[in-house]
A and B are shown apart, each in its own frame.
Chain A
Amino acid sequence: MKAQRVLFALVFISVAALATTVVPASIERLTEQSTHVTLARAVDNRSVWDASHTRIYTLTRFQPVRLMKGALPATFTVKRLGGHADGYTMKVAGVRGWQPGENAVLFLQPDVDGSYVVTGLMQGDFRLGRQASGDLTVSNGVRGAKQLDANGQVSEFQGSRMTLTELEQRVRKVAVR
């Protein structure tokens, strides 16, 4: 009984490869779409209005910890839509920012103003965790989502969680092409 219940809980997850906000992208696709990939540490945040005072952006300064694709200066800025300013909070559903000191593997594209944006919103933002074995893991919270088919057949769940080492190997493999 208990085993069946756990199985149910584990396999009754998302259906198909469509996400309502995003279509899960592979590490290889994200790497191809990004000019830069780096493990980086957030230094600080500040939110600003745009020139028309209708959009709030948060500018987060990062320091690269380990470059995986492209070259970056000692400090670079990532810009994302959303943030807090003058008593308002603007947010893009499903997207969250970084706290100072937080580490992440970022897949980046340059913006016209010299800052960078994360490729595919939350998809290009992998947060770090640690396995019981001590290995560092990364996950962008977006999974490839194999699933139950129309006949109720259960396919294996394939998540985006992987070790940092595996992610880096996959990025470098594409980056050297």
Chain B
Amino acid sequence: MNRALSSRISIFIVLGVAVLGLILSLPAFSYLPMFTRTSSGSAKPDHWVLNAFPLTYSVNPSLGSNFVGGGDPIQIVSSSFDTWTKAPNTGLTITRASDTSAHSAAFDGMNLICFICQDKSSFGGTTDTLAVTVTTTSDAPGQDTRHGVSSTAAGQIVDADIEFNPDVQWSTGSTVTDSQQHLQTVATHEIGHFFGLDHSAVVRAAMFPYAPDVSTTLSYDDVAGISQLYPKTSPDVATGSITGTVKFQGGAGVFGAHVFADSTGSSLPFGTGVRKSPIGAMTGPDGSYTISGAPSDSYTVTAEPLDDPVTDSDISGYASALSKASVQTNFTTRWH
């Protein structure tokens, strides 16, 4: 709709595409991490350094009558963490530390999960904000992590807290009513942020900014993201990458195009516990992209402007981290 009308400028896509045998593994990201802008001006993906200090979370177990459905919210959060840490190709562990009475996000050496969070300003004064994840990263090595050691990398996450809005009606069951929100669905998304992922423009991803009423599993895009940030030493499933460049007709690279690879096959290399979805990437300032974490298959690759339903506003720091005002959307969708 808008996309078709939005511009007469066409793009020329240089495909580094489709087929796939096992292309070698690669660097870059095929999902979208959050970024930290370093003191030198470059952008580094947010991530935990797993050997820096034990990665734990602490729960404030206080609950209100706004939790209904019979499930245990703490167990649900634990299951949501497991969804990410047990993702294919992912080498990531986190343990639950002692409970706490803290009730507000803070850079204090403790990764807090609170259900009756006291600082309602975190939610912008409404019940329309269901939950927030607040992360703190180091802009450079050598910063105090508040865990007794110094940070070792720019973009290293040193603290992350998840606050659930206490004024929201939460369902801890398997279904929701119109007035409820599904705790595990929201927790799964927020924990993606906890581990460093930004929103994804792939519509079936857990990190897509909007979700079905109930959706508690990861998609291929999510798996690509978490496994690239925290790769398993011996991957469960062999993957490769797709690279290319998105250019305007005049030859200039398109910055911030959303490029996604969609499998044309019916195989399920990640099994049935992961929802099959396209795997996405954003182009860099020169228009180049790398879609990583793609299992062996044939793919259709599409480049589209990030102009709805996911927009620049949903990926909070991508353009600014790369010293750009915003992503470019003055082109029409193309695929090969």
| A residues at B contact (CB < 8 Å) | 5-6, 9-10, 12-16, 18-25, 29, 33, 52, 54-56, 81-82, 84, 87-96, 99, 109, 111, 117-125, 127, 132, 139-143, 145, 157, 159, 161
Give 1 or 0 for each of B105-139: 1 = CB within 8 Å of chain A CB: 11110000000000001111111111111111111
Q: How far is the CA of A20 from the CA of B206 in the complex (A)?
A: 9
Which of A23, A94, A145 has the largest count of B CB atoms less than 10 A from its CB?
Answer: A94
Interfacial chain B residues near A81, Cβ < 8 Å: 105, 121-122, 134
Known A18-B213, A21-B131, A21-B209; judge A139-B311 contact (CB<8 A): yes
Interface residue from B130, B132, B182 paired with A23 (Cβ < 8 Å): B130
When the two chains form their complex, are residues B2 and A161 in contact, meaning their CB atoms are under 8 A apart?
yes
Q: Any chain A CB within 8 A of the CB of B304? A: yes
Q: Can you list 25 A-B pairs with a CB-CB distance of less than 8 A?
A: A6-B333, A12-B203, A13-B309, A14-B203, A14-B211, A16-B212, A18-B211, A19-B210, A20-B185, A20-B211, A24-B210, A55-B106, A88-B143, A90-B137, A91-B137, A92-B134, A93-B190, A94-B193, A117-B121, A124-B124, A141-B311, A141-B312, A142-B209, A143-B210, A161-B308
Residues of B within 8 A of A82 (CB): 134
- Beta-carbon contact of A96 and B6 below 8 Å: no
Q: Are A88 and B137 in contact (CB under 8 A)?
A: yes
**Cross-chain contact A109 with B125 (CB below 8 angstroms):** yes
**Given the complex, which residues of A lie within 8 Å of B137, measured CB to CB?**
88-91
A9 cross-chain contacts in B, Cβ below 8 A: 3, 302, 304, 333, 335
With A and B bound together, what is the CA distance between A54 and B159 in angstroms? 10
Cβ contacts under 8 Å, A88 to chain B = 107, 136-139, 143, 158
A88-B139, A145-B309 as given contacts; A93 in contact with B126, CB under 8 Å: no
Known pairs A18-B181, A19-B209, A93-B193; A127 contacts B313 (CB<8 A): yes
**Interchain CB contact under 8 A, A118 and B124:** yes
B210→A18 contact, CB < 8 A:
yes
Are B311 and A21 in contact, with the CB atoms below 8 A?
A: no
How far does the alpha carbon of A139 sit from the alpha carbon of B307 in the complex, in Å? 10
Interfacial chain B residues near A123, Cβ < 8 Å = 124, 126, 128-129
Among A91, A109, A132, point to the contact of B135 (Cβ < 8 A).
A91
Q: Give bound CA distance, A121 to B314, whole Å.
A: 12
Question: Which residues 171-187 of B sit at the A interface, judged by CB distance below 8 A?
Answer: 176, 181-182, 185-186
A41 to B325, CA, bound (A): 15
Kindly identify, within residues 186 to 217 of chain B, every residue whose CB is under 8 Å from any CB belonging to chain A: 186, 188-190, 193, 198-199, 203, 206, 208-213
Which of B108, B128, B176, B316 contacts A22 (CB under 8 A)?
A: B128
* Bound-complex Cα distance A148 to B5 (A): 23
CA distance A140 to B36 in the complex (A): 23
Given contacts A12-B203, A21-B129, contact A93 B198 (CB under 8 A): yes
Q: B-side interface residues toward A, CB under 8 Å?
A: 1-7, 34, 36-37, 39, 104-108, 121-140, 143, 158, 176, 181-182, 185-186, 188-190, 193, 198-199, 203, 206, 208-213, 302, 304, 308-314, 316-317, 320, 325, 333, 335
Distance A95 CA – B133 CA, assembled complex (angstroms): 10
Complex: A142 Cα to B316 Cα, angstroms: 13
Alpha-carbon gap, A20 to B193, bound state (A)? 11
Bound-state CA distance A96–B1 (Å) is 27
Residue of A15, A87, A118 contacting most chain B CB atoms (<10 Å): A87
Q: Can you name 18 extra interface pairs (CB under 8 A) apart from A13-B308, A23-B130, A120-B129?
A: A5-B302, A6-B333, A9-B3, A14-B203, A14-B309, A15-B212, A18-B176, A18-B213, A21-B132, A24-B210, A25-B126, A55-B107, A91-B34, A92-B134, A93-B34, A94-B198, A142-B313, A145-B309
Q: Is the CB of A33 within 8 A of B125?
A: yes
**Residues of chain B contacted by A19 (CB below 8 angstroms):** 130, 209-211
Contact B309 A159 (CB under 8 A): yes
Q: How far apart sit A157 and B320, CA to CA, in the bound complex (Å)?
A: 28
CA distance A123 to B203 in the complex (A): 20
A104 to B182, CA, bound (A): 32
A125→B311 CA distance, assembly (Å):
13
Q: Which of A55, A94, A99, A141 is the one whose CB lies under 8 Å from B325?
A: A99
Bound Cα distance from A161 to B33, whole angstroms = 25
